[in-house]
Chain A
Amino acid sequence: MRGVRKTFPGVVALDRVDLSVRQGDIHAVVGENGAGKSTLMKVLSGVYPHGSYSGDIVFDGAVRAFDDIADSEALGIVIIHQELALVPQMSIAENIFLGNEPARAGVIDRTALATRTRALLAQVGLDAAPDTLVGELGVGKQQLVEIAKALSKKVRLLILDEPTASLNDEDSDKLLTLLLRLRAQGVTAILITHKLNEITRVADAITTLRDGATVDWIDCRTEAISEERIIRSMVGRDLSDRYPPRTPRIGPTLFAVRGWCASHPNHPERDFIRDVDLEVKAGEIVGIAGLMGSGRTELAMSIFGRAWGVRVRGHAFLDGAAVDLSTIDQAVRQGIAYVTEDRKGAGLILHQDVRRNTTLANLAGVARAGVLDEPREQRIALDFRHRLNIRCAGVDQPVVHLSGGNQQKVVLAKWLFTQPRLLILDEPTRGIDVGAKYEIYSIIGQLAAEGRGILMISSDMPELIGMCDRICVMNEGRLIAEFNGAAATQEAIMRAIMQDGGH
């Protein structure tokens, strides 16, 4: 791929990306969240059609123009996405040949279906009957079904987007072994991953992306794989004055959890959040760094009235005294607020106006004996609009028409009206332009200065380093490291994550 550039409205996702993969290699693509890895792979596989990007895709020595996935698959380029695209209610065989069924005049040839499925399953080393429902398989085995599906399409270039993110060690190991075996059979692979040990084990070459551009290329056959070099190239950008200055005034411990555990609703037998100890002092901004899927949001939501997870266990303390956070309502009453990462889906009622969204979490605060005091509600909405500088035509404007930054301010207003002592902010600046980000940072700093505790989850590491007094690093459901805000560097955080064995 040469000089690929892809823009979305208002954002340049990829710019000057070069990626060259030799036949028969396993080529690792690394980069931070949002560096453009997934976008690049979508360009390569034809999800974004020819014409929606600039630059060239060269395959087998010829420039290719894919209009859709079918075009790239015809050449043997198959992508396996992070979120698996299998139909859980269908069998393994039906999934492998979905849209491509061996059939005569539209009637599916069941014998051929079963025989060919068995052969493919043997190839990927999955010991299961072809008529097993995919939904009954674990994630690791589903991953193998995806690969079998790719093989059924005569794959020549296999793209795997973080295939081991949701696998345990044993399944990851099996998958990597399979990749090596496929390489021996002549299949070329692009492996997107965050895990350094996987790269060391299987990669023949490494390309590093940062901010939508290629920044480094390593040939592992001629050079030793240098952790230092990969990490530095992944994160190495300057921190400029993007964060408002603040002088932290940190008080006594405000909130703490001890031995916090929670299980995934789909896998209640296994702890997803494991034995987390965490504390936030008054006036302190504590960051939680980690990769996607590391359990940051899940931890936050399980603390916030068990909004996520089953078998949530552990002790929570506010001002040193144990508190009951068993329901969301209870958590809100104790002064805990959770600003969701999914602003539109879970933060706002989009067709309702600014006023109604502002008071939603504290209706009792604008009512007497259950009857709304609308003049009072109006005054409060106007007040927040002024304080947070929410730009809207009026507080009777539906929030759906506001920009991302102003929507986020409405969500903040909603939670500030509950007068929280601890604010958990989940990706507070995701999808917000630079100017609005600065305003949000200022508000966060102001809230901390008022003596509230702030727990801030972010995938934007410079943001965490720029804002936080302390940064905890999370991986696979545990806190694995902690850095003082001043001492934290992106290199150190990435190293902590990549060296974590997951035990």
Chain B
Amino acid sequence: MDIAKQAPAHAATAAAERLELLRFLKHHLRDYGMLLSLAAIMLLFQGLTDGTLLQPLNITNLILQNSYIVVMALGMLLVIVAGHIDLSVGSVVGFVGALAAVLMVNHDVGPVPAALIGLAAGALIGAAQGYCVAYLHIPSFIVTLAGMLVFKGLALVLLEGQSVGPFPEAFQLLSIGFLPDPIRLPDLALGSLVLGCAAAAAMLALAVRARRSAAALALPSEPWPMFALRVSLSCAALVALSWLLALYKGLPNVLLLMGVLTLVYAFVAERTTLGRRVYAVGGNEKAARLSGIKTERVSFYAFVNMGVLSALAGLIFAARLNTATPKAGLGFELDVIAACFIGGASASGGVGKVTGAVIGAFVMGVMNNGMSIMGIGIDYQQIIKGLVLLAAVFVDVYHKAKR
């Protein structure tokens, strides 16, 4: 009798748990959806390219090709969350690359000072544009459209219409170098693999610790099955990635740079007062201002930061090509902005995640890479990328309207 009574009660709790899980999934569909779409797109192209996509060499290339987009997406996300846009990033990439090139090749400046001057130039450009947007209240679209033209022109002036290169070897390491591996086997960069596994272990430990402290405070957290699935898949992906990279030349320097920057920006956006202020300004500028937040200063620094990251991307890109060309950076702004919107940022500001933008950048990157391997022409590539962007934002809008 007792068992018969208990059974329905048990079934009821199980049903309630399932319901809770479903509700959670519905609310966070966007977050998991991003990761799932990236995984799906990778699988799709893995099939379409007969396994070329995930070959060690190609994975390494994929990372090198997208590093500068990811670096800029970090800054662009903050700009978009603050309620602005920056169209000038592609031109800044070209300009800073040209500046560093001219300094190193024509004026024998060392790679390190040249890079630092480039970064400072980026900060200055960001400050000038940020000043116009934040303090003079000129719409960012206009300011950065002007910047796009101005810096494209200045890059041409610096290069006198020619390509400038090659660069000292030390400079190239920024982009095409790999981490020195202390325990290099003939076919395997074991050190890289160990580092990847260590990173996965650290991620696991941190996630478990965060979940424990959240539970202790009754902070909202994801249901246990989702947590387990997400963390174990991420760790597995990290280990798999380092395995693949170890099969080739090990961890590229630029991957480490990208990883560290992503962690830093995700931390700043989510866990610091600075990040909170950026979201507040984009979410409701008036309310933020009346709460004592210096809204102009927040917008200003978002642009300064964007300038520095564009400059860094410019250095990476120039180092990768080993030459600064007048065409460098052309159209990059579109990929960067698309990455943020695919990653769930809202065009009206206040919403978006750093990790989302990074995933968005890789969605674009995998598509670029996969379609190129398949031999799809640049014409159709553009069409497909445009439609994917539209579809991703449509899903967002539709999802929001339904709630």
Looking across the interface, which residue of chain B has its beta carbon closest to that of A340?
A: B290
Residues of B within 8 A of A346 (CB): 284, 286-287, 290
Q: Complex Cα distance A331/B287, Å?
A: 15
Which chain B residue has the least Cβ–Cβ distance from A333?
A: B292
In angstroms, Cα B277 to Cα A488, docked, is: 44
- CB of B128 within 8 Å of the partner chain: no
Q: Could you tell me if A375 and B219 are in contact, using CB atoms closer than 8 angstroms?
A: yes
* Contact B271 A363, beta carbon cutoff 8 Å: no
Q: Does B177 contact A (CB under 8 A)?
A: no
Q: Which residues of B contact A78 (CB under 8 A)?
A: none
B280 touches A360 (CB 8 A): yes
Checking B216, B271, B284 against A349 with a beta-carbon cut-off of 8 angstroms, the contacting residue is B284
Q: Is B6 an interface residue (CB 8 A)?
A: no
Task: Pick the residue among A327, A347, A364, A382 that contacts B287 (CB under 8 A).
Answer: A347
Which of A111-119, A365-373, A442-450 lies at the binding interface? A365-373
> Does residue A352 face the partner (Cβ distance < 8 Å to B)?
yes
Cβ of B213 and Cβ of A371 under 8 Å apart? no
| A360 contacts B286, C-beta separation under 8 Å | no
Chain B residues, Cβ within 8 Å of A331: 292
Q: Which of B254-312 contact A (CB under 8 A)?
A: 271-274, 276-277, 279-280, 283-284, 286-294
Chain A residues 304 to 338 lying within 8 A of chain B, measured CB to CB, are 304-305, 307, 327-329, 331-333, 338
State whether the Cβ of A249 lies closer than 8 Å to any Cβ in chain B.
no
Interface presence of B360 (CB below 8 A)? no
Chain B positions within 8 Å of A338 at CB level: 290
Contact check: which of B213, B220, B294 meets A329 at CB < 8 Å?
B294
Partner of A363, one of B213, B277, B287, B350: B277
Is residue B77 contacting chain A, with contact meaning CB distance below 8 A? no
Contact A371 B272 (CB under 8 A): yes
CB distance from B284 to the nearest CB of A (A): 4
Interface flag for B217 (CB, 8 Å):
yes
Chain A, 339-356, contact with B by CB distance < 8 Å: what is the 0/1 string?
A: 010100111111110001
In whole angstroms, what is the CA distance A331 to B294 when docked?
13
Measured between beta carbons, the chain B residues less than 8 angstroms from A351 are 283, 350-351
Q: A396: CB under 8 A from chain B?
A: yes
**Which B residues are in CB contact (< 8 Å) with A181?**
none
Task: Give, as a whole number of angstroms, the nearest-CB distance from A315 to chain B.
Answer: 22
Using Cβ atoms and an 8 Å threshold, which residues of chain B touch A347? 287, 290
| CB nearest to B295 among chain A residues | A328
A374 partner, pick from B219, B284, B350, beta carbons under 8 A: B219
Q: Chain B residues near A360 (CB, 8 Å)? A: 276, 280, 287-288, 291, 293
- List A contacts of B351 (CB < 8 A): 351
C-alpha gap A331/B290 in the complex (Å) = 10
In the complex, whether A172 has a CB less than 8 A from a CB of chain B is: no
What B residues does A356 contact at CB under 8 A?
A: 276, 279-280
Q: A364-B273, A371-B272 are in contact. Are A349 and B290 (CB under 8 A)?
A: no
Partner of B271, one of A345, A352, A372: A372
- Known contacts A346-B284, A378-B219; A371 and B289 CB within 8 A of each other: no
Residues of chain A lying within 8 A (CB to CB) of residue B220: 394, 396
Q: In the complex, A361 Cα to B351 Cα: how many Å?
A: 19
Provide the residues of chain B in CB contact with A371, threshold 8 Å.
271-273
CA distance A372 to B286 in the complex (A): 23
B217 nearest CB across to chain A (Å):
5
The residue in chain A whose Cβ has the minimal distance to the Cβ of B270 is: A372
B134 → A minimal CB distance (Å): 15
A342 to B276 Cα, complex, angstroms: 22
Please tell me if A414 contacts chain B, counting CB pairs below 8 Å: yes
Are A379 and B289 in contact, with the CB atoms below 8 A?
no
Contact across chains for B289 and A328 when beta carbons are under 8 A apart: yes
Number of A residues, CB within 8 Å of B = 37
Query: Is the Cβ of A349 less than 8 Å from the Cβ of B288?
Result: yes
B residues near A304, Cβ cutoff 8 Å? 290
Q: In the bound complex, how far is the Cα of B287 from the Cα of A345, in angstroms? A: 7
On chain A, the residues within 8 Å of B280 by CB distance are: 349, 352, 356, 360
Would A375 and B213 be within 8 Å (CB), given that A340-B290, A394-B220 are in contact? yes
A 39-73 contacts with B by CB, 8 A? none
**Chain B residues with CB under 8 A of A414:** 291
Most buried by A among B284, B286, B288, B294: B284
Which residues in window 345-367 of B have CB below 8 A to A?
A: 350-351
List of A residues within 8 angstroms of B286 by Cβ:
342, 345-346
Known A346-B286, A347-B287, A349-B287: A328·B292 in contact at CB below 8 Å: yes
- Cβ of B271 and Cβ of A361 under 8 Å apart? no
Most chain A beta carbons < 10 A, residue from B213, B216, B217, B351: B217
Mark each residue of chain A from 431 to 473: 1 if its CB lies under 8 Å from any CB of chain B, else 0. 0000000000000000000000000000000000000000000
Taking CB atoms, residues of chain A closer than 8 Å to B294 are 327, 329
Instruction: Write the chain B residue with the least CB distance to A350.
Output: B284
| A190 smallest CB distance to B (angstroms) | 35
> Closest CB of chain B to A301's CB: distance in Å?
8
Taking a contact as CB atoms closer than 8 A, the residue among A340, A352, A370, A379 that contacts B274 in the complex is A370
Q: How far is the CA of A352 from the CA of B294 in the complex (A)?
A: 19
Cα distance A379–B216 when bound, in Å?
11
Residue of A nearest to B283 (CB): A349
Min Cβ gap B78→A in Å is 15
Please, how many angstroms separate the alpha-carbon atoms of A329 and B295 in the complex? 11
Return the contact of B273 from the options A333, A350, A367 (Cβ within 8 A).
A367
Contact across chains for A367 and B272 when beta carbons are under 8 A apart: yes
Asked if residues B276 and A363 are in contact (CB atoms below 8 Å), the reply is yes
Residue of A nearest to B284 (CB): A349
Contact A363 B273, beta carbon cutoff 8 Å = yes
Q: Which residues of B contact A364 (CB under 8 A)?
A: 273
> Bound complex: CA of A136 vs CA of B219, how far in Å?
56
**Minimal beta-carbon separation of B264 from chain A (angstroms):** 12
Q: Residue on A with the closest CB to B216?
A: A375
Chain B contacts for A307, CB-based, 8 A: 289-290
In the complex, A394 Cα to B27 Cα: how many Å?
15
The complex places the Cα of A305 from the Cα of B350 at a distance, in Å, of 25
Max chain B C-beta neighbours (<10 A), residue from A338, A349, A352, A378: A349
Q: What chain A residues lie within 8 Å of B273 (beta carbons)?
A: 363-364, 367, 370-372
Whole-angstrom CA separation of A276 from B96 in the bound complex: 55
Give the residue name and chain of the B residue nearest to A352 (CB): B283
A394 to chain B, nearest CB (A): 7
Beta-carbon nearest neighbor of B220 in chain A: A396
Tell me, in angstroms, the Cα distance from A349 to B281 when the chains sit together: 9
Asked whether B271 lies within 8 Å of A374 as measured between CB atoms, the reply is yes
Report the minimum CB–CB distance from A230 to chain B (whole Å): 38
Contact at B272–A372, with CB atoms within 8 Å?
yes
Given contacts A348-B284, A349-B284, contact A328 B213 (CB under 8 A): no
Q: Fill in one digit per residue for B194-238: 1 if any A CB lies within 8 Å of its CB, else 0.
A: 000000000000000000010011111000000000000000000
Alpha-carbon separation in the docked complex, A332 to B290 (Å): 9
Query: Which residues from A are CB-within-8-Å of B288?
Result: 349, 360
CB distance from B147 to the nearest CB of A (A): 28
A-side contacts of B219, CB under 8 Å = 374-375, 378, 396
Query: Cα distance A360–B280 when bound, in Å?
Result: 8
* Shortest beta-carbon distance from B23 to chain A in Å: 11
Give the complex CA separation of A364 and B292 in angstroms: 12
Cα–Cα distance between A360 and B216 once the two chains are bound (Å): 24
Leading 10 A-B pairs by shortest Cβ distance: A349-B283, A361-B291, A332-B292, A346-B286, A363-B273, A329-B292, A349-B284, A396-B220, A360-B291, A367-B273
**Would you mind naming 26 contact pairs between A and B with Cβ atoms under 8 Å apart?**
A305-B292, A328-B290, A329-B293, A329-B294, A331-B292, A332-B291, A340-B290, A348-B284, A349-B279, A349-B284, A349-B288, A351-B350, A352-B350, A360-B288, A360-B293, A361-B291, A363-B277, A364-B273, A367-B273, A371-B272, A372-B272, A375-B219, A378-B218, A379-B217, A382-B218, A396-B219
B interface with A by C-beta (< 8 Å): 213, 216-220, 271-274, 276-277, 279-280, 283-284, 286-294, 350-351
If A345-B284, A345-B286, A346-B290 are given as contacts, then 11 extra A-B residue pairs at C-beta distance below 8 Å, sorted by A number, are A304-B290, A307-B290, A349-B280, A349-B283, A349-B288, A363-B273, A363-B276, A374-B219, A374-B271, A375-B219, A414-B291
